[in-house]
Chains A and B, each alone.
Chain A
Amino acid sequence: MGDSEFAYGSSMSVDSMKVIAESIGIASLGDDAAKELADDVTFRLKVIVQDSLKFMHHSKRQKLSTTDIDHALRVKNIECQYGFIQPDSLPFRFASGGGRELHFVEEKEVDLTEILYAPPPKIPLDVSVRAHWLSVDGVQPTVPENPPPLSKEAQKLESVDPISKLSKPTNKDAAGKPMCGKAARLKASESVHVKQLATHELSVEQQLYYKEITEACVGSDEGRRAEALQSLACDPGLHEMLPRMCTFISEGVKVNVVQNNLALLIYLMRMVKALLDNQSLYLEKYLHELIPSVSTCIVSRQLCLRPEMDNHWALRDFAARLMAQICKTFNTSTNNLQTRVTRLFARALQCPSQTNNETGVGPSMVTTMKESEKTPLASLYGAVQGLAELGPEVIKVFILPRVRWLGERVEGALSGLGGADRLAAGNLKHQLLKVLAPVVRQLRQPPDLPDEYKRDYGYLGPSLQHAVGKVRASPAAGGGGGAVAVVTCTPPLVPAPPPPHVSHLAHVTHAPKTVDTMASRSMVISASPAPQSPAPSTPPPQKFVIVSQQKPPQTQPASGAGHIVVHSSQPTIVRSQNVQSVVVTSGPASGAAPAQKVVVVGVQQPHHHAPPAPALVSQAPVSVVAKPVFARGGTPQQPPELDDLSHLA
């Protein structure tokens, strides 16, 4: 027992006594007196603390609180200490100087008037009783009120070290399934131990649940799907069904990629998302099924029937974000997940010249060259997106050196004939600019000369230079905080990617109650996916929609809050987004009648900050703007379409 010093030895020091004496105005306390005092104070403190432990125990707590000390003082007939109620634990601060070291509790001066005029604190919620079944005939049901049968740590341990489970088989018996009946019989025979590693059979209820959930997830009823996904994301007892769920997803992706069924792929990805979000699940054991599925949805050549119309880009974006989330959560030094994923995407971007330089000789050299030559633009887009989600460092190393080659591809496609190709090229270009601009901004010093850019980056040079300029000009770009949108009412002629933080702007002309769709990327909003292939010279469609609103005088409240944003006929797009800032610009003249108000909602999408915030994609985020939309928009809420991608944003 080496801790005896700690156990018996703690006492107040003579120095403390002197400091305390000083603080109350006794300048020179003798050593003897201080020693005497220190001993006495130590003894009394210990007695009081020991007594207060009794009160802690009887209050059925395991943490000592100030009230316990007060009660102990009362027993000793000492007046208790007033005003020492502190909701949190007080940190001890440390200071040293003049050869002395001090530990002290910071006491801030409190402004009484501030307290007096502060709004009264919220009344705490009243205590209420809620009943649930902790056990039914000796079996603990897996409802959210009960703890998960197998904790996440246990699942993690199991995936890393399966032996650990064998060594303590009683552990599971004691908590999870019943010991009596079958489990007990299983336990009796030795050979069954190995079998118990994974439960291979599902109870009838679990089978039913599986059926219901999978049907709802890929079915046509959006309401049920939301419920099913919610269940997947929250239910604590799913780990036994995980193998089946993952197989369902991976098989589903295989089939639907072949059939180009965009909607189903989206639903499957949403299932992946829900499983990833479930706090009680540890997916590592199933990554071998999930990662190929997700990466398929990122880089597959074709994901939908009509590439020129359907918005498979959003699926790629969403899947890329999922992939980044997976990498971030499960990357370890042993599985090298992120490295492998990065390599996967990087290979798709391999341009011929670099293949020569880097890999040098190799049997597949020629084939790679040919393959990468004809890598479809959509796959390139996916690869770029996948890499971009992994962070600026990855962008710098893997995308930037290939810009020249990518530019050539884009140039070729844009000048080519195929509508779909042109659209893809436009998207790719837009995406590249968006992704690269902040990285380039970090790399290069301010004088951005078009020639230099042209020289370094090829075809994309000038656009990139423009984009970087935009980023530099935007005040918020440096801080990375709240984005302030630059409002332009029409898509600019010069392709100008929006600043990195502002990727979505919403634009709805409200007064005539019509919805203008500005660009094909915002088809999410448009009620009917009208084929709107942009003219060749049109800059790549941008991810913003702007709301300009004719102020309806009768509905607008008299207060200055009139410029609260109302937009979007389909509220779903706003619902799932994190509103960062609301900027209002008035009509042409500031003094003029507020005929028109242009409202911009800047939405932050953490493209360049590694993890997508969970709130972004969660199924029921708190909506800030959504409510006024419903309240004042007046537009009838249309049921979401089958391939409505708004929830992916």
Chain B
Amino acid sequence: MGEKNTPLLAVLQLLRKYNLKGTEDILRKEASLGDVEFENLDLPEVELASILTSHHTESDPYSYEFAYDNLRKFIENSLDIYKYELSTLLYPVFVHMYLALILYDHNDHANNFFEKFGAEQEDYCQEDLKRLAAVKHKDQIKGNELAEIYSTNKFVVQLSRDASSQLKRFLQEQKSSTVIINIINNHIQVEVHDGPGRTQAQVRATAGGMLGEATRNENRTKVYYGLLKEPDIQVLPAPVEDEEEVEETPDKPKKKKAKKEHIFMKKPKSDPNAPPNERIPLPELKETDKIEKGKALREASKRIQLGPDSLPSICFYTLLNSGHTAICTDICDDSTLLAVGFSNSSIKVWTLTPVKLRGMKSAEKLQDIDREAGDVLVRMMEEKDRDTCRTLFGHSGPVYKVVFDPFKTMLLSCSEDSTVRLWSLQCWTCLVVFRGHVWSVWDVRWSPHGHYFVTAGHDRTARLWATDHHQPLRIFSGHLSDVDCVQFHPNSNYVATGSSDRTVRVWDCLTGTQVRIMTGHKSTIFTLAFSVCGRWLASGGNAELIVWDISTGSPAALIPPTHTAPIHALAFSRDGTILSSGSLDCNIILWDFNAITEEAIGEEAGTNANTTVQKEDKFLLRSFATKNSPIKGLHFTRRNLLLAVGSYEGSS
């Protein structure tokens, strides 16, 4: 294929793409292109776009370096109020110049360009630059995840009105070279916002997404972040009282009742932010589930109020002899069972109480049982086998997450083998294998109301499932890289996902659309946790921890990095006053969540006290080090005792 013909071919391909037959024929005749050449016309999308837009400036590799240097000087010399916003332009321009140089086969120039300006990009871009640096040839753009993302999507840069007009003036002055204008036109989406230019800290707080910041429009949708009205309040007292009668403890019921009512009273009758109860069809509660709920409420009435002055006790469960094999852990809601997923595909479930784990009787024996009997649930369990630990086999790859359902009868697990398995905790067997994800499934979570669950995987999607369907109900796609973690909103209407593209997104389960996109993380997000009230979302990445306000989609607080390794566990205390984070650096840190939210709300109200210096002391309550045991799971019991799980990695 001759060099000259390339643009023509590109035009031809474009015409064909839009099915403009007539023009195509005319062009072919005029340019006297043969059919043969036409047949093997298969330019990659990326290249096609570049050729069509800028083929005339492609020739001069030196213009890039010159243009970039100009832009940098312009930004450095601009006023401080514009400077920091404008500087977010540098990175995408740099990346696209590099890719353009590679695309036009100026490999050596590209290398020089990279060496010269790569190191001066923001520190949080360096990780990406390392990955991009692997691309050294035109053909490799196709194979590189990152390069593809950059060339097929637009990078979002937010500028204030003044800053953008500054930029426009600058671009007009640059008549000699259209390189930057081309790049900004084709690859960068400049979002103009009203209001003053932002400070360095503000810019930094939201920078870091793989494709720049979130646009404001994306976060306009209203999110019903309030909690559901408890549907079972009316139903509850009856079973609870039954329970108490069974126990026959004469003086206790009175006290409990009083406190219980207190708890009910606390909930606002109708939260304006709460979604209607029937927005998402929720399963009817079974009789046993109601009993479980009643127990939970009774326990809750006994819980300790936590705060900066009354810190929780922490019980640490150390997994001995597990080395690096233990991957994930979960503790069920009533804190009686501990599940651990291992890299050798097995799952182990321990009981944390003296109550042993029992299996169900065999089918023949079950037939003999009187199904009408009141204690049928007890009778159907085997009496002989009583273990403190049971192992579940079935997966064929490392198990990346295990979760107990809210009612302690089932367990979900996801694995590298791209399947999700549902296990029964009564028969101790696998009930369903959910297939759908293409590659590894990184995370799985139950809806707080059961029935639904959500998964996230390497295939860049998160999927919503129901236990009675073998196919996903919703597929949430939009992340640019792996979806590393998911979390259900406490009202079951929303799902939050965290990804390697360094964004946190919130999806509506009803419509399957993305309602929030939040940028600011500088690294992969490994874990998410919703606050008890449903308004805040905490996300943990590589040593960084951010709390988001779901109502606006903006970061509520940037917690100064105290951890030194990826944070893999987050838990809110049951009264929502304390946030605990556990990291691979063997530390558990307790944060004063009340202070965090108060500050966020205060900032919103405009009383923006300059407290950045004090921050570290302000939020951090205490850190607890373990003995060389990276934290893999955190869980607050209903009485606000913190349970932590880690695996001891030897004294080396």
Contact = CB atoms under 8 A, between A and B. Distances in A.
Contact of B312 (A128, A132, A138): A138
B309 A180 contact: yes
Given A43-B143, A130-B320, A137 B311 contact: yes
Nearest to B140: A43
A57 B588 CA distance: 19
Contact of A58 (B315, B442, B625): B442
Interface stretch (A47-55, A99-107, A460-468, A486-494): A47-55
A190 B537 CA distance: 38
Interface stretch (A119-127, A205-213, A218-226, A298-306): A119-127
A47 B143 contact: yes
Nearest to B648: A130
Contacts of A75: 439-440, 458
Contacts of A589: none
A134 B129 contact: no
Contact of A7 (B126, B313, B321, B584): B126
Nearest to A59: B327
A39 B111 CA distance: 13
A8 B313 contact: no
A152 to B, nearest CB: 13
Nearest to B308: A180
Interface stretch (B74-82, B115-123, B212-220, B367-375): B115-123
Interface in A22-50: 39, 42-43, 46-47, 50
B397 interface: yes
B452 interface: no
Nearest to B616: A170
Interface in A159-178: 170, 174-175, 178
Contacts of A5: 115
Contact of A60 (B309, B328, B623, B642): B328
A4 B119 contact: yes
Interface string B627-640: 11010100000000
Contact of A137 (B313, B315, B623, B628): B313
B318 A179 contact: no
B524 A57 contact: yes
A127 B566 contact: no
Contacts of A39: 136-137
A137 B314 CA distance: 8
Nearest to B325: A127
A60 B440 CA distance: 15
A7 B135 CA distance: 14
A553 B312 CA distance: 67
Given A129-B317, A170-B617, A54 B134 contact: no
A134 B587 CA distance: 11
B313 A133 contact: yes
Given A8-B115, A50-B134, A54-B482, A147 B313 contact: no
A199 to B, nearest CB: 18
Given A7-B126, A58-B400, A174-B623, A43 B137 contact: yes
A145 interface: yes
Contacts of B315: 131-134
A147 B319 contact: no
B508 interface: no
Nearest to A49: B134
A434 B327 CA distance: 58
A71 B400 CA distance: 13
A71 B644 contact: no
Contacts of B342: 127
Contact of B630 (A57, A60, A125, A134): A60
A350 to B, nearest CB: 47
Contact of B348 (A42, A127, A137): A127
A216 to B, nearest CB: 26
Interface in B126-148: 126, 129-131, 133-137, 140, 143-145
Contacts of B588: 134
B144 A47 contact: yes
Nearest to A131: B317
Binding site secondary structure of chain A: mixed
A632 B620 CA distance: 63
A147 B442 CA distance: 32
A175 B134 contact: no
A137 B310 contact: yes
A127 B642 CA distance: 22
B434 interface: no
A134 B648 CA distance: 14
Interface stretch (A61-69, A393-401, A577-585): A61-69
Contact of B320 (A1, A46, A129, A179): A129
Given A60-B568, A75-B440, A124-B321, A134 B626 contact: yes
A175 B588 CA distance: 10
A16 interface: no
A135 interface: yes
Contact of A140 (B322, B338, B565, B624): B624
Given A57-B526, A134-B314, A138-B312, A128 B321 contact: yes
B134 A46 contact: yes
B534 interface: no
A354 B130 CA distance: 72
A60 B327 contact: yes
A63 B630 CA distance: 13
B484 interface: yes
A112 interface: no
A136 interface: yes
Contacts of B322: 127
A129 B622 contact: no
Given A8-B130, A59-B398, A127 B316 contact: no
A532 interface: no
Interface in B342-388: 342-343, 348, 350, 352
A257 B625 CA distance: 44
Given A43-B135, A43-B137, A130 B115 contact: no
Given A60-B568, A65-B324, A129 B319 contact: yes
A146 interface: yes
Nearest to A137: B313
B319 A127 contact: yes
A8 B114 contact: yes
B106 to A, nearest CB: 15
B550 interface: no
B500 to A, nearest CB: 7
Interface in B571-605: 584, 588, 590
B416 interface: yes
A178 B622 CA distance: 8
Contact of A4 (B115, B320, B397): B115
A135 B135 contact: no
Contact of A147 (B416, B626, B642): B626
B518 interface: no
B627 A146 contact: yes
A367 B78 CA distance: 86
A54 B133 contact: no
B482 to A, nearest CB: 6
Nearest to A177: B622
Given A47-B134, A147-B625, A57 B566 contact: yes
A84 B221 CA distance: 52
Contact of A135 (B317, B352, B416, B624): B624
21 contacts: A7-B126, A42-B134, A43-B134, A43-B144, A55-B416, A57-B484, A58-B398, A58-B440, A60-B568, A63-B324, A71-B440, A125-B321, A127-B325, A127-B326, A127-B348, A129-B338, A130-B318, A134-B315, A137-B312, A138-B310, A138-B622
Given A135-B312, A140-B624, 12 more contacts: A43-B143, A43-B144, A58-B398, A59-B327, A60-B566, A129-B317, A130-B320, A131-B316, A132-B315, A145-B318, A170-B616, A175-B623
Interface of B: 114-115, 118-120, 126, 129-131, 133-137, 140, 143-145, 308-322, 324-328, 338, 340, 342-343, 348, 350, 352, 397-398, 400, 416, 439-440, 442, 458, 482, 484, 500, 524, 526, 565-566, 568, 584, 588, 590, 616-617, 620-628, 630, 632, 642, 644
